[in-house]
């Protein structure tokens, strides 16, 4: 018998939740990660007493009580609500687009006035069925908001002209005719008190882990250790890129510690002008109502991905979707290997979704024993 029942490649939420469920049911797991820390992209690094979200700011939100109860077993959450501001040439606006924003733009006070204003702004454009992101956005919020808050921001985010971007990117653009700055509609929201690493530690209690090890550097050895493998890395890498590379959009983060207590008074400000090279500034302490004398801010720069950069957002165009399907067919033939998580499924998952997916996968296996 092998030493472990499951080898889990990747210590992100998918791997950690899966390992937790299996371990709880008596299966021995080893979790490995090529990074020098556990937790995958939810990892935060404590500096000056502030939890710095290393791979971009993470706000937990879900409507599913069972997922909320699941994470609350390990850590309590605070009452943080994500309500970013937009800065366009020094003017500040509330996000997501709601009555506050409409009031700031047009001095309208009622939903009826706001709707009439938007209608008036697009009446000459004759958009019946939006055929790209620009038309989609225009028909939702009108010309003024589109030009100041959406166009430049989206173009730098995706490195492409808004007319060349598909309309579905913005389908879920939250627009509200209420005075409500809460970005997410979900019933349960917050940031773990003490940081996301507490969630990771709770999930991995009593589970063996190894850091700084790349599965592919020593695949035979790791396969020998366990009966089954759960793989949460990039699916194309698993097959040695033999059908080609799946593309991503990447990000670069620039952080600085400032000798002041409070830099911008809020966790996130989006910079919506195209020629400001970053898309937002994050001030980490505000996620946890930090009171210390210093602060840490991070500028987020979108960038083209290449194989030496972190893959962040999958590109859901036809070319990449059809390449992913080919890899998926190969993955389905690997009987001893379970593929899961955002990289192995080439899919953008929010945290609550990837947790749900790992719970489902592990429960299906446990129920079939
Ligand atoms: P990951 O966390 O990426 O874990 C995969 C792990 O596998 C990594 O640690 C990697 O090092 C390891 N690995 C890969 N290959 C190998 C190998 N060969 N050998 C060993 N280890 C390997 N979600 C929200 O709900 N709210 C948010 O506000 C939010 N904000 C986000 C902001 C950004 C910028 C991004 C990119 C994502 C955000 N998310 C957010 C989504 C969230 O990050 C994901 O849902 C979650 O991290 C997915 O977990 P995972 O296990 O699938 O992947």
Lowest mean pLDDT among 45-49, 125-129, 153-157, 365-369: 125-129
Report DSSP letters for 307-338, one per residue: TTS---EE--SHHHHHHHHHHHHHHHT-TTEE
- Distance from residue 40's CA to the centre of ligand 1 (Å): 5
- The pLDDT value recorded for residue 129 is 87
pLDDT tens column, 235-284: 999 999 999 999 999 999 999 999 999 999 999 999 999 999 999 999 99
Percent of the chain at pLDDT > 90 equals 88
Q: How confident is the model at residue 334 (pLDDT cuts 50, 70, 90)?
A: very high
Q: Which residue has the tokens 């209608």?
A: 119
- The pLDDT value recorded for residue 369 is 80
Question: Are the C-beta atoms of 173 and 140 separated by less than 8 Å?
Answer: yes
Are residues 239 and 338 part of one domain?
yes
Are residues 162 and 65 part of one domain?
no
- Does residue 359 surpass a pLDDT of 90? yes
What are the two backbone dihedrals, phi and then psi, of residue 269, each rounded to the nearest 5 degrees?
Answer: -125, 125
- Does residue 169 surpass a pLDDT of 80? no
Say if 57 falls within a structural domain.
yes
Say if 143 falls within a structural domain.
yes
Write out residues with Cβ below 6 Å of ligand 1.
9-15, 32-35, 40-42, 56, 58-60, 214-216, 232-233, 251, 312, 341-343, 349-352, 354
276 DSSP assignment: S
User: In angstroms, rounded to a whole number, what is the distance separating the alpha carbons of residues 104 and 144?
Assistant: 11
- The pLDDT value recorded for residue 275 is 94
Say if 256 falls within a structural domain.
no
- Distance from residue 42's CA to the centre of ligand 1 (Å): 7
Structural element, H or E, at residue 288: none
- Does residue 228 surpass a pLDDT of 90? yes
Report DSSP letters for 109-176, one per residue: -SHHHHHHHHHHHHTTT--SS--SHHHHHHHHHHHHHIIIIIHHHHHHHHTS-GGGS-GGGGTT--B-
Strands 60-62 and 85-88: unpaired
- Give the nearest ligand 1 atom to 237 CA: 18
Q: CATH number for the domain including 332?
A: 3.40.50.720
Q: Whose CA is nearest to atom 27 of ligand 1?
A: 58
Are residues 334 and 243 part of one domain?
yes
| Mean pLDDT confidence for 68-95 | 98
Say if 265 falls within a structural domain.
no
Among the candidates 170, 203, 230, a domain finishes at: 170
Are residues 334 and 229 part of one domain?
yes
- Distance from residue 312's CA to the centre of ligand 1 (Å): 8
For a mutational test of ligand 1's pocket, the pick from 40, 199, 252, i.e. the residue with the most ligand atoms closer than 8 A to its C-beta, is 40
User: In angstroms, rounded to a whole number, what is the distance separating the alpha carbons of residues 49 and 295?
Assistant: 9
Are residues 123 and 92 part of one domain?
yes
- The pLDDT value recorded for residue 178 is 98
For a mutational test of ligand 1's pocket, the pick from 7, 19, 58, 231, i.e. the residue with the most ligand atoms closer than 8 A to its C-beta, is 58
- Give the nearest ligand 1 atom to 313 CA: 36
* pLDDT: which is higher, 122 or 203: 203
User: In angstroms, rounded to a whole number, what is the distance separating the alpha carbons of residues 10 and 283?
Assistant: 28
Instruction: Tell me the average pLDDT of the chain.
Output: 96
Please, which residues have CB within 8 angstroms of residue 105's CB and are 6 or more apart in sequence? 93, 144, 145
Total domains, the chain: 2
Query: Which residues are known catalytic residues?
Result: 172, 176, 249, 280, 300, 348, 350
- The pLDDT value recorded for residue 317 is 85
- Does residue 361 surpass a pLDDT of 90? yes
Q: How confident is the model at residue 287 (pLDDT cuts 50, 70, 90)?
A: very high
Q: Whose CA is nearest to atom 39 of ligand 1?
A: 350
Structural element, H or E, at residue 31: strand 29-32
Which residues constitute the domain of residue 164? 85-170
Say if 271 falls within a structural domain.
no
Are residues 135 and 114 part of one domain?
yes
Are residues 142 and 70 part of one domain?
no
pLDDT tens column, 108-134: 999 999 999 999 998 888 888 888 889
Structural element, H or E, at residue 284: none
Are residues 158 and 215 part of one domain?
no
- The pLDDT value recorded for residue 13 is 98
- Distance from residue 145's CA to the centre of ligand 1 (Å): 32
- Distance from residue 359's CA to the centre of ligand 1 (Å): 16
Are residues 163 and 202 part of one domain?
no
- Chain mean position to CA 323: 22
The tokens for 358 are: 């790992």
Buried-exposed string 104-115: b where 16+ CB fall within 10 A, e elsewhere: ebbebeeeeebe
User: In angstroms, rounded to a whole number, what is the distance separating the alpha carbons of residues 180 and 51?
Assistant: 27
- The pLDDT value recorded for residue 316 is 83
Question: Are the C-beta atoms of 79 and 232 separated by less than 8 Å?
Answer: no
- The pLDDT value recorded for residue 277 is 96
- Distance from residue 12's CA to the centre of ligand 1 (Å): 6
Buried-exposed string 159-192: b where 16+ CB fall within 10 A, e elsewhere: eeebeebbbebbeeeebbeeebbbbbebebbbbb
Q: Whose CA is nearest to atom 53 of ligand 1?
A: 12
The tokens for 74 are: 């390990």
Is ipTM beyond 0.90? yes
Are residues 332 and 225 part of one domain?
yes
Q: How confident is the model at residue 170 (pLDDT cuts 50, 70, 90)?
A: confident
Three-class secondary structure of residue 281 per DSSP: strand
Q: Whose CA is nearest to atom 7 of ligand 1?
A: 10
* pLDDT: which is higher, 168 or 111: 111
Question: Are the C-beta atoms of 254 and 133 separated by less than 8 Å?
Answer: no
- The pLDDT value recorded for residue 365 is 96
- Give the nearest ligand 1 atom to 216 CA: 18
| Mean pLDDT confidence for 331-341 | 96
Say if 24 falls within a structural domain.
yes
What is the biggest distance separating any 2 CA atoms in the chain, rounded to whole angstroms? 72
Are residues 92 and 145 part of one domain?
yes
Q: How confident is the model at residue 194 (pLDDT cuts 50, 70, 90)?
A: very high
User: In angstroms, rounded to a whole number, what is the distance separating the alpha carbons of residues 203 and 20?
Assistant: 5
Structural element, H or E, at residue 226: strand 226-231
- The pLDDT value recorded for residue 132 is 87
For a mutational test of ligand 1's pocket, the pick from 221, 232, 344, i.e. the residue with the most ligand atoms closer than 8 A to its C-beta, is 232
Say if 278 falls within a structural domain.
no
Q: Whose CA is nearest to atom 9 of ligand 1?
A: 40
Q: Whose CA is nearest to atom 22 of ligand 1?
A: 10
Among the candidates 140, 170, 200, a domain finishes at: 170
Q: Whose CA is nearest to atom 21 of ligand 1?
A: 33
Are residues 361 and 213 part of one domain?
yes
Among the candidates 138, 170, 202, a domain finishes at: 170
- Does residue 171 surpass a pLDDT of 80? no
- Distance from residue 230's CA to the centre of ligand 1 (Å): 15
Say if 297 falls within a structural domain.
no
């Amino acid at each position: 018998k092998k030493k472990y029942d499951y080898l889990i490649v990747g210590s992100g939420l998918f791997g950690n939740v899966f390992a937790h469920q299996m371990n709880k049911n008596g299966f021995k797991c080893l979790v490995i990660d090529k990074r020098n820390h556990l937790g995958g992209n939810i990892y935060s690094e404590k500096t000056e007493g502030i939890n710095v979200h290393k791979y971009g700011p993470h706000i937990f939100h879900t409507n599913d009580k069972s997922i909320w109860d699941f994470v609350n077993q390990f850590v309590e959450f605070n009452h943080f609500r994500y309500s970013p501001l937009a800065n366009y040439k020094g003017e500040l606006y509330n996000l997501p687009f709601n009555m506050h924003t409409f009031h700031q733009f047009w001095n309208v006070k009622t939903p009826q006035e706001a709707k009439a204003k938007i209608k008036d702004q697009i009446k000459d454009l004759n958009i019946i069925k939006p055929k790209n992101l620009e038309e989609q956005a225009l028909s939702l919020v009108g010309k003024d908001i589109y030009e100041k808050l959406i166009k430049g921001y989206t173009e730098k985010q995706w490195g492409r002209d808004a007319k060349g971007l598909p309309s579905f990117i913005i389908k879920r653009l939250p627009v509200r005719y209420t005075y409500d700055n809460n970005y997410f509609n979900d019933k349960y929201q917050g940031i773990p008190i003490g940081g996301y690493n507490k969630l990771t530690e709770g999930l991995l209690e009593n589970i063996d882990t190894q850091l700084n090890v790349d599965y592919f550097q020593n695949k035979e050895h790791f396969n020998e250790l366990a009966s089954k493998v759960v793989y949460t890395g990039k699916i194309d890498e698993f097959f040695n890129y033999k059908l080609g590379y799946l593309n991503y959009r990447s990000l670069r983060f620039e952080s600085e510690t400032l000798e002041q207590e409070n830099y911008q008074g809020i966790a996130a400000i989006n910079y919506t002008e195209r020629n400001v090279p970053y898309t937002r500034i994050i001030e980490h302490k505000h996620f946890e109502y930090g009171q210390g004398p210093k602060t840490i801010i991070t500028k987020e720069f979108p960038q083209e991905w290449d194989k030496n950069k972190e893959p962040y957002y999958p590109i859901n165009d036809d070319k990449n979707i059809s390449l992913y399907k080919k890899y998926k067919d190969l993955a389905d033939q690997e009987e001893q290997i379970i593929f899961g998580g955002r990289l192995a499924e080439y899919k953008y998952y929010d945290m609550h979704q990837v947790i749900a997916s790992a719970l489902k996968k592990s429960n299906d296996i446990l129920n079939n024993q």
